């Protein structure tokens, strides 16, 4: 169920307030039991770990999804649970986030409050699990029992990721599972890999104090470097795809933003059809690139032509899915399901489409999804030869061509989807605002199919 923006916002404020109250209670209750006679070794430890946490947090990397950042700050913060009393470990977490978020990054107050509170709670949860499993914090002696060390690290990661995912899914209308995969899915391997590092850091501090920390800081920043390289690689791949799409759309002003919208509709339809997350993402990528072959010079004149196409021109235009699939296949990661979905995006469910005349379930599911998403956008935006159709007319067309042009199950999803209705209305309004010039249109002709 999709909540209206205002209710979602209210829910988000309520959620942040609840996390902040929880953090305040955790701080007060641990401060109560805190021993205030601090040894020099403990004070030095606090300074060293806080400094390391600050450097790690300041060098964190922005991820491409939402506003999430990925850093190695969890390593010194979890180590502080093994070294210091819970109140001081929480204070280190809070101080790190306060300096970075408020003083350096100057984030909005709601984000500062949320991030500090989430950190306090996550460290509180990690400390509780640590003690419950038999751990004892100390800067003088290192307890090598693996169970409390691993338990605390898992508790911390789980608490922070749950808190962040819940906030992101509330603010960006994604469901919990999808947000988890998008924000944390790719970093899971690194998280598992870095689980022993907080314990190792604590051990080195107990053993060699400052020198031990410096000895670990070097490999820590190597881990960070691997994070950064991986993220940059993923990001540049995504940006290259977007560049290819912008290149096609630059040739045809009428279809500006078309591929992005088709990808957006395809993602919703595929998700509502119950397709797995990984496959949904493949379909969305195929949808983004479905017409990429139109960058070839031979299609340029056909795309810009405002009148009716001759039979020869029509035949030539119908070769674009094959050319698009060939182009997409030149990138090794896009071969297979993505290239197939691109090749067959003009196949009709009844077998009358092109290029191979496939029918029914022989058409890859991704191609069937793109067919309906592509048509939705074609009908709800202005074209040289006709104005956008009202949404109710579009639904009539979808119903009329279900089982002929469209997979009837997917048509049914589009007819019932509230998300599609909302997205289409947003796209139509944006198009109205962005089109100050009236196009010189040819008289509308009666469509033989929903794709016109
Ligand atoms: Fe196409």
- pTM (2 decimals)? 0.59
Residue 435, classified by CB atoms within 10 Å of its CB into exposed (0-12), middle (13-18) or buried (19+), is middle
The answer to whether residues 172 and 179 touch, using CB atoms and an 8 Å cutoff, is yes
The tens-digit pLDDT sequence of the chain (452 residues) is 455 667 777 888 888 899 999 999 999 998 887 777 778 888 888 888 898 888 878 876 554 444 445 567 888 899 999 988 999 999 999 999 999 888 888 888 888 999 999 999 999 999 999 999 988 888 888 877 888 888 888 888 888 888 887 777 776 656 666 666 666 655 555 566 667 888 888 888 888 777 777 777 777 677 777 777 777 777 777 777 778 777 777 766 666 688 889 999 999 999 999 888 879 989 999 999 998 888 888 888 887 777 788 999 999 999 999 999 998 898 888 889 999 999 999 999 999 999 999 999 999 999 999 999 999 998 888 766 667 788 888 899 999 999 999 999 999 999 999 888 888 887 766 655 554 333 333 333 444 455 43
The answer to whether residues 77 and 202 touch, using CB atoms and an 8 Å cutoff, is no
Sorted by where each begins, the domain ranges of the chain are: 5-234, 252-433
DSSP-assigned letter for residue 387? P
Confidence at residue 174, expressed as pLDDT on a 0 to 100 scale: 60
Task: Compute, in angstroms, the gap from residue 178 CA to the centroid of ligand 1.
Answer: 28
Choose among 99, 107, 148: nearest CA to 128: 148
Task: Compute, in angstroms, the gap from residue 371 CA to the centroid of ligand 1.
Answer: 8
Confidence at residue 116, expressed as pLDDT on a 0 to 100 scale: 93
CATH ID of 252-433, from 3.40.50.1100, 3.40.50.10070, 1.20.120.10, 1.10.3210.10: 1.10.3210.10
Task: Compute, in angstroms, the gap from residue 357 CA to the centroid of ligand 1.
Answer: 15
Ion ligand 1: residues, Cβ under 5 Å: 291
> Residue 406: what are its φ and ψ, rounded to 5°?
-110, 150
Domain 5-234, second-level architecture? Orthogonal Bundle (1.10)
Choose among 374, 184, 361, 369: nearest CA to 279: 369
Determine how many CB atoms are found less than 10 A away from the CB of residue 377: 25
Length of the chain: 452
Task: Compute, in angstroms, the gap from residue 412 CA to the centroid of ligand 1.
Answer: 22
Give the C-alpha separation, 291 to 155, whole Å. 46
């Amino acid at each position: 169920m999709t909540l209206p923006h205002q209710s979602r916002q209210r829910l988000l404020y309520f959620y942040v307030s609840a996390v902040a109250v929880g953090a305040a209670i955790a701080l007060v209750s641990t401060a109560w039991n805190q021993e205030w006679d601090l040894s020099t070794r403990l004070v030095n430890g606090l300074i060293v770990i806080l400094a390391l946490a600050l450097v790690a947090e300041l060098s964190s990397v922005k991820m491409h999804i939402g506003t999430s950042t990925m850093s190695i700050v969890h390593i010194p913060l979890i180590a502080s649970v093994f070294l210091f009393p819970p109140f001081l470990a929480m204070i280190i977490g809070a101080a790190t986030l306060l300096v970075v978020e408020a003083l350096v990054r100057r984030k909005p107050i709601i984000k500062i409050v949320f991030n500090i509170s989430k950190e306090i709670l996550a460290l509180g949860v990690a400390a509780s699990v640590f003690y419950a499993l038999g751990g004892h914090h100390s800067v003088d002696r290192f307890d090598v029992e693996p169970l409390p060390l691993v338990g605390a690290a898992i508790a911390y990661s789980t608490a922070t990721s749950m808190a962040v995912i819940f906030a992101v899914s509330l603010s960006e209308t994604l469901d919990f599972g999808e947000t988890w995969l998008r924000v944390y899915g790719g970093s899971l391997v690194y998280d598992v890999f870095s689980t022993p590092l907080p314990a190792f850091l604590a051990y080195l501090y107990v053993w060699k104090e400052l020198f031990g920390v410096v000895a670990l800081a070097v490999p820590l920043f190597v881990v960070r470097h691997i994070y950064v390289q991986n993220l940059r690689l993923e990001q540049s791949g995504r940006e290259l795809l977007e560049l290819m799409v912008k290149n096609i759309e630059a040739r045809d002003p009428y279809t500006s933003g078309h591929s992005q919208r088709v990808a957006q509709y395809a993602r919703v339809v595929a998700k509502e059809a119950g397709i797995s997350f990984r496959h949904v993402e493949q379909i969305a990528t195929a949808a983004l690139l479905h017409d990429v072959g139109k960058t070839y010079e031979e299609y340029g004149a056909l795309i810009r032509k405002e009148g009716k196409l001759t039979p020869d021109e029509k035949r030539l235009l119908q070769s674009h899915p094959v050319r698009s699939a060939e182009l997409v296949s030149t990138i090794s990661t896009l071969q297979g399901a993505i290239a197939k979905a691109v090749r067959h995006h003009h196949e009709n469910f009844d077998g009358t489409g092109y290029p191979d005349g496939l029918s029914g379930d022989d058409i890859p599911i991704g191609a069937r999804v793109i067919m309906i998403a592509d048509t939705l956008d074609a009908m709800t935006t202005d074209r040289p030869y006709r104005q956008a159709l009202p949404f109710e007319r579009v639904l009539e067309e979808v119903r009329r061509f279900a089982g002929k042009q469209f997979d009837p199950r997917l048509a049914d999803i589009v007819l019932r989807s509230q998300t599609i209705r909302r997205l289409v209305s947003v796209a139509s309004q944006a198009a109205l605002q962005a089109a100050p010039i009236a196009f010189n249109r040819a008289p509308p002709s009666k469509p033989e199919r929903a794709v016109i």
